[in-house]
């Protein structure tokens, strides 16, 4: 794993940097393999990135878009990560519907939805049940509590190491999330972190010693590149590495 920490002057500069890395990785993947795969983060930070991606002329017919986690709400719910990315980006580019792979949230049991999505990933990447596919890019954010995706502190999801997708829980509300090993098999993971409220979580994530179950983002150590893109507000105690 190669870890790169960059502190950018503001959110716009952070988004522009993330855009440059995403474009580089996806174009390289398409050039090398004829296909590029990306899993999206939810929340608010990545929305301007998705809006900028809508203005790019990528080979959309060769790009496949997934989500790293999803709130367990209907696809048209205001809290839906799928809805946010479609409105900001995917509905505004000529990407085939079959290239967009949302996590279904219409099963009565979220565990069934997690299993279904894992099976879809295995079929798409043509991996065996015991293998973890390698996404070209996985985008992540962190919460003020140092969660990432829907891997929340002291939840069972943090310990799932034999599946691609599992059920997370925030304040008793179910979510569907990539597991730690699936994220850690990615070629490139990009954390986008903005705002002073993230300073405390970052200090614990980067501390030499801290409890991984309390600060789940510490568990993310991909086989490829790990980018930490921080705006000045979040990363004022950091220097560019
Ligand atoms: C989600 C995200 C979540 C998010 C962090 C940061 O579904 O909410 O996947 O992990 O990345 O909570 O959210 P902000 O970018 O809004 O601070």
Q: What Rg, from alpha-carbon coordinates, does the chain have?
A: 17
Count of domains observed in the chain: 1
Its ipTM equals: 0.98
C-alpha of residue 230 to centroid of ligand 1, in Å? 14
Q: Is residue 148 a part of any domain in this protein?
A: yes
CATH of the domain at 102: 3.40.50.1360
Name residues whose C-beta falls within 8 Å of residue 123's C-beta, 6 or more positions apart in sequence: none
Please say whether the beta carbons of 198 and 181 come within 8 A.
no
Q: Does the C-beta of 188 come closer than 6 Å to ligand 1?
A: no
Give the tens place of pLDDT for each residue, 40-84: 999 999 999 999 999 999 999 999 999 999 999 999 999 999 999
| For ligand 1, atom 12: residue with the closest CA | 143
Q: Is residue 240 a part of any domain in this protein?
A: no
Q: Does the C-beta of 42 come closer than 6 Å to ligand 1?
A: yes
Q: Does the C-beta of 149 come closer than 6 Å to ligand 1?
A: yes
Q: Is residue 187 a part of any domain in this protein?
A: yes
- Paired with 177 in beta bridges are 69, 166
Give the tens place of pLDDT for each residue, 91-104: 999 999 999 999 99
Give the tens place of pLDDT for each residue, 195-226: 999 999 999 999 999 999 999 999 999 989 99
**64: nearest Cα among 18, 99, 92, 103:** 99
C-alpha of residue 181 to centroid of ligand 1, in Å? 19
- DSSP type of residue 226: E
Q: What residues make up the domain containing 108? A: 2-235
The pTM (predicted TM-score) of the whole model is 0.98
- CA gap 152, 171 in Å, rounded: 10
Q: Does the C-beta of 184 come closer than 6 Å to ligand 1?
A: no
Q: Is residue 241 a part of any domain in this protein?
A: no
């Amino acid at each position: 794993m190669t870890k790169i920490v960059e502190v950018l002057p503001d959110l716009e500069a952070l988004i522009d940097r993330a855009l440059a890395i995403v474009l580089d990785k996806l174009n390289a993947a398409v050039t090398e393999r004829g296909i590029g795969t990306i899993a999206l983060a939810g929340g608010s930070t990545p929305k301007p990135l998705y809006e900028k991606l809508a203005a790019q002329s990528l080979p959309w017919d060769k790009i496949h878009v997934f989500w790293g986690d999803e709130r367990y709400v209907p696809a048209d719910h205001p809290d839906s990560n799928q809805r946010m990315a479609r409105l900001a980006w995917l509905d505004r580019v000529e990407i085939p519907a079959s290239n967009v792979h949302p996590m279904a949230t219409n099963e009565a049991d979220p565990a069934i939805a997690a299993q279904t999505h894992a099976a879809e990933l295995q079929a798409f990447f043509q991996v065996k049940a015991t293998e973890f596919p390698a996404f070209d890019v996985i985008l992540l954010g962190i919460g003020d509590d140092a969660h990432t995706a829907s891997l929340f502190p002291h939840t069972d999801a943090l310990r799932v190491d034999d599946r691609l997708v599992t059920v997370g829980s925030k304040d008793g509300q179910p979510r569907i999330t990539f597991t730690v090993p699936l994220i850690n098999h990615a070629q490139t993971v990009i954390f986008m972190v903005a705002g002073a409220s993230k300073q405390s979580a970052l200090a614990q994530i980067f501390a030499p010693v801290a409890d991984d179950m309390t600060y789940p983002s510490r568990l993310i150590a991909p086989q490829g590149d790990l980018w930490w893109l921080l705006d000045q507000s979040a990363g004022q105690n950091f220097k560019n590495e």
